[in-house]
Homo-oligomer: A and B are copies of this chain.
């Protein structure tokens, strides 16, 4: 997606160690119109899947997932990383390693909002190693739901996430793909 690519070139910062700082338009500060355009793009890429729910992980997945869900007219569920007091005691819970936090994080969904027979579209900000997204897939499957598509704003192909997701056999889309961040550069896949 050219709009997002140009924005990464303009405002993205390669912090080294494979970390791309996009907090002026994706997380912390969100460019609402860019996010709207990304949601529209995802909705077109996944329109044919007849998804019944969009699933993401808090915090930075919420904006792209909500923008997508608005176009698809679907509810969004965001997996919590800590269990709020309003959640029942029986929950779906998995753990996934967090690249940016350097530790395992919990992903928790209430059984009230992820149920058998749902067709789940997973949307997140990054596809890096794929570990967060695989965590969401485990939650969906535990609930008896089917994951029908996976979308990420930005793929870092050098971290192997796409290979990690291949065996799922579902459509995986990223709006921008980065193949190298070596030597302070940002090199796109194509």
Binding site for B on A (CB under 8 A): 15, 19, 21, 23-25, 27-33, 35-36, 54, 58-59, 62-63, 66-67, 69-70, 73-78, 80, 84-87, 100, 109-110, 112-113
A56 to chain B, nearest CB (A): 10
Cα A66 to Cα B67 in complex, Å, equals 9
Cα A113 to Cα B78 in complex, Å, equals 25
Q: B86 near A35 (CB under 8 angstroms)?
A: no
| Listed A/B pairs (22) with beta-carbon separation below 8 Å | A19-B86, A21-B86, A23-B84, A23-B87, A24-B112, A25-B75, A28-B84, A28-B109, A28-B110, A29-B76, A30-B66, A30-B69, A31-B75, A32-B69, A32-B70, A32-B73, A59-B59, A59-B62, A59-B78, A62-B66, A67-B70, A85-B100
Cα A80 to Cα B59 in complex, Å, equals 9
Q: B23 near A110 (CB under 8 angstroms)?
A: yes
Chain B residue contacts of A54, Cβ below 8 A = 32
Cα A96 to Cα B74 in complex, Å, equals 34
A88 to chain B, nearest CB (A): 10
Given A110-B23, A113-B29, CB of A100 within 8 Å of CB of B84? yes
Given A62-B62, A66-B66, A100-B86, CB of A76 within 8 Å of CB of B23? no
Chain B residue contacts of A113, Cβ below 8 A = 23-24, 28-29
Q: A75 near B28 (CB under 8 angstroms)?
A: no
Cα A5 to Cα B109 in complex, Å, equals 25
A44 to chain B, nearest CB (A): 16
Q: A73 near B24 (CB under 8 angstroms)?
A: no
Q: B85 near A28 (CB under 8 angstroms)?
A: no
13 extra interchain contacts, Cβ-Cβ under 8 A, other than A25-B75, A32-B74? A15-B85, A15-B86, A23-B84, A24-B112, A28-B84, A28-B109, A30-B62, A30-B69, A32-B69, A32-B76, A33-B73, A66-B66, A84-B100
